[in-house]
Structure 1
Amino acid sequence: MKQSPGTQVIQCSLNRQKPVKAAIVIFGSSLEVIHDPQLVTENIVAVLLKVGQLSIGVLSVYFEGDQELHPYLSALQHTTHKLHTNNILVGGDVNAWSQWWGSVSENHRGAEYCSFLHEQDFQILNSGQTPTFEIYRGDRWCTSIVDVTACSLSLLGKMEEWRVERGLTSSDHNAITFSMRLEKALEPLRPVSTRIYNTRKAKWSDFGSHLKANLTEKEITKVRISNALGPEDLENILEEYTNAIHRSCDEAIPKLGSPKYSAKPPWWNSTLDLLKKDAVRKKRRIRNAAAHRREYTIEIYVTAKNKYTLAATEAATASWREFCTRQDRESMWDGIYRVLRKTARRQENTLLRNTAGGKESMSSTYGLEPHNTVFQSEMYALFRAVRLAKESRAASISILSDSRSSLDLLKRPSVTHHLALQIKSCLSEIREEGRKVRLFWLKAHVGTAGNERADELAKQAALTKETADYDKVPVSYVRRKIREGTVKKWQARYESSSTGAVT
């Protein structure tokens, strides 16, 4: 599925072994989206949406009708547990029938999926008997209700207006819409870019006068800087200087607004819009047509749909051809490379210097067992860093980590993880001594020198460390081993048995 401006598409894009059947599309910029690529497959896609203080796990699923349902349900259960939230919303085509979501009858797949939803304490949101799937096959108009929406009990009271929209899309599957009631209106997220001000519209003369006045007000002069008594005094002066710059920018430079995007592709036009509406309108007429006119009505719909599909394909192809013919001797890429060649070479980020002027005062590596998880390694690294901060006796310490999940766990008021408990205990002892320690998250694999150096040390430890400094066994490893042992025993019992019966 292609990603358009103003949207975020989460789908399986790497190591695909079969066609992608599930995806999640986020419109706008009011939701914080967190997704783990390990929880995204061709048939199940999971993301964590943060709306204020509320975290919602959203899953899109497609269960193949000719495949056993149990492996899908096991994967779905595993994925919901990995989201680490009690607020779960699941929707998709399950290829199963049950009266619980409006089908006329129930088959064995419907009974199995119903049982799974009840075990997980998920509540079915489907209401009414409007078909979610409608298609013309041969000389028959086929309809069914195979798309199911379910949520956890904690979200049930927030869900409203669930319904099937027949005229919203020209697909064989009708659209399903519903609303979720929030405590307050959504607000746009802060942009990922660090840019705040629109410097193209800056009034630099006003900025200079405001900055001079602010520096005079705070008594930031060369004499004061020269007479600084130590690093802490310089830090205070630097903070006042930064605040003066911010105030001057607020007074003389307008701030950047939220970016505006259009979800429509560049080749979309009014003709395609009319053809799409015509195809949807003729599809709606099928269910109201008399029996003797139904075949004729279906033929009209198929003709309109094919006409719309052909026009959309031709428009996209023509747009691409126009783009290609526009590129002359200097293509769009040649221009970019020419600019890069003429500009100064980019300087890489350097490591932060300590108070003595050195770049890296020390480094430590630790070994783990093969059964330890990545989360355990990140938590153990934070534990050693906090313990080192406690032993250093420094007045102010900043610890940076690229593990957001570890930092999110430490922010929780109550935790049970033994490393998290030890970290919070060390932090409390440091703060009781009147010292300051702060934890920061930084993005991984973006060229930050300190973070790249930490990754390099981690790889060295994995290759050279023979004795593990941390060897606690995670519960997930125990469960996996128990399951593997059970499967082996079952297979051996099955192979040695004369019949397939088990008593």
Structure 2
Amino acid sequence: MQLSDGDLVAASIELDKTSFWVASAYMAHDKDAPPEEVRTLVKEAAYKKKQLVVSCDANAHNSMWGSTDTNARGESILDFILGNKLSVLNLGSEPTFITKSREEVLDITLTSDSFVHKIKRWRVLSEKSYSDHCYIQFEIDLKTPHVREFRNVRNTDWRVYNKKLGTLLPKIPPRDPATRVELDGLVNQVTKAMNSSLSAGCPVVRYRGKNKPPWLSKQLSSLRESNRTMFNKAKATRTTEDWEAYKADLKIYKKAVRTAKRKSWQSYCKGIEETTEAARLRKILVMSPCNLGYLKGQGNSWTTTSVESLGLVWTHTSLEAGRWNLTTP
């Protein structure tokens, strides 16, 4: 979006029946709180009647979002929040910024007042972020695609299965069926009992996994776990030695990650260069599916929806085709 700059990244999420804006903002300590870029973003969202979610490194203290005290920057940001119909999503006082010398809540998540009910399960994660700031996670309750469900038969608790089956089947074996109708009835009874027993011993679960990046090797996973352990130790002991050891190990881990990413990207680029143009484009889109973003057209004006962006691309493509005497499909 055209509202983005070095300290602010904003994007528009467009779904079938709803759309809203999300943003990540860094509020430098030597600038006004909040900075002019954030004020413009909130004003623009209100003007276009867009719901807004903003995650901020505010560099400000306020007991409203769980800080240990309140300073002038925190007061200024709170006044801005109250004056622009925004809500703070932070819950509790779990620190979001941790260093050797202090722990504090410096990161806040803001949203439009009318969008608060859509935000669920806001929390600070204990998972190591390999930064001074912690991961913050929340869910936006919108219509989502069908959740994959599966039953892993290898994890079946056969003791539960047999116990359940024993309660559902008759204690006395039934007499031999005299007709086909009786036979079908017995088959249905046994099938229903087995299905119910399987549901008890091996319940259906939802797929919760996520794909690992191609550059994440076992060696990097081991380095990450080691660094996480060192961070927890430094956080607990608060000694200079442990913090210095953690920082040195973190430097090694980040260097290894950069190297792995670079090699993975080089390998990927080498692979797509060996294919035809059409196959190359398809491979790129399959690996990294994305929606068309906002584009700048003539006169430095930006598109405001994906439909306008698509129209701009189509117009540009048609002009290029005419220039080279090509026919567009």
Calculate the TM-score normalised by the size of structure 2: 0.60
Shift of 1:307: 2.9
Figure out how many residues of one structure are paired with residues of the other and give that number. 238
2:318 paired with 1:449: yes
Q: What letter corresponds to residue 91 of structure 2 in structure 1?
A: S
Which residue does the alignment assign to 1:142? Answer: 102
Alignment check: 8 A CA contact 1:125 1:162 kept? yes
Q: Equivalent residue for 2:162?
A: none
- Cα distance in 1 for partners of 2:21, 2:265 equals 38
Please show how residues 43-192 of structure 1 align to structure 2 within 5 Å: 43-69=7-33, 70-81=35-46, 84-136=48-100, 141-182=101-142, 184-186=143-145
The 5 A counterparts of 1:74-473 are 74-81=39-46, 84-136=48-100, 141-182=101-142, 184-186=143-145, 264=213, 266-289=214-237, 294-316=239-261, 405=305, 442-446=310-314, 447-449=316-318
SS at match of 1:151: strand
Decide whether aligned partners of structure 1 residues 286 and 333 sit closer, same or farther in structure 2, where only a CA change above 3 A counts: closer
Task: Give the SS at the match of 2:235.
Answer: helix
Residues 1:43 and 1:79: Cα distance change in structure 2 (over 3 Å): farther
Higher relative contact order (Cα pairs below 8 Å, separated by 6+ residues): 2
Amino acid at match of 2:312: A
Q: Give, in angstroms, the shift of residue 49 of structure 1.
A: 1.1
Once the two structures are TM-superposed, the CA of residue 161 in structure 1 deviates from its matched residue by 1.5
Question: How has the CA–CA distance of structure 1 residues 73 and 49 changed in structure 2, closer, same or farther, with 3 Å as cutoff?
Answer: closer
Question: Is the 8 Å Cα contact of residues 3 and 37 (structure 2) preserved in structure 1?
Answer: no
Residue 67 of structure 1: how far off its partner (Å)? 1.9
RMSD of the alignment, in Å?
Answer: 3.7
Amino acid at match of 1:150: L
Distance in 2 (alpha carbons) for counterparts of 1:318 and 1:406: 34
Native 8 Å contact 1:43 1:61 kept in 2: yes
In structure 2, what is the Cα distance between the partners aligned to 1:335 and 1:373? 36
Equivalent position SS for 1:445: helix
Q: Give unmatched runs, 5+ long, in structure 1.
A: 1-35, 189-260, 340-371, 376-402, 409-440, 454-503
Q: Retained in 2: the 8 A contact 1:46–1:79? A: no
- Cα distance in 2 for residues equivalent to 1:47 and 1:72: 14
> SS where residue 312 of structure 1 aligns?
helix
Residues 423-473 of structure 1, C-alpha deviations (whole Å, 9 max, x = no match): xxxxxxxxxxxxxxxxxx9532355437988xxxxxxxxxxxxxxxxxxxx
Shift of 1:57: 1.4
Q: Which runs of 5+ in 2 are unaligned?
A: 148-209, 280-298, 323-329
Structure 1 runs of 4+ with >4 Å offset: 316-324, 331-337, 372-375, 403-408, 450-453
CA distance in 1, matches of 2:81, 2:115: 14
Say if 1:60 and 1:316 are closer, same or farther in 2 by CA, change over 3 A: closer
Identity %: 24
Q: 2:25 touches 2:38 (CA, 8 Å); kept in 1? A: no
Contact between 1:89 and 1:151, CA under 8 Å: does it hold in 2?
yes
- The Cα shift of 1:132 comes to 0.7
Amino acid of the structure 2 residue aligned with 1:186: P
Rounded Cα–Cα distance in structure 2 between residues aligned with 1:135 and 1:405: 42
- C-alpha displacement of 1:119: 0.6
TM-score, normalised by the number of residues in structure 1: 0.41
Q: Which is higher, the Rg of structure 1 or of structure 2?
A: 1
Query: Are residues 297 and 92 of structure 1, via their aligned partners in 2, closer, same or farther at CA, if it must alter by over 3 Å?
Result: same
Q: Which amino acid aligns with 2:108?
A: V
Query: What do the CA deviations read for 1:83-125 (whole angstroms, capped 9, x no partner)?
Result: x234211112011111111111111111111000101111111
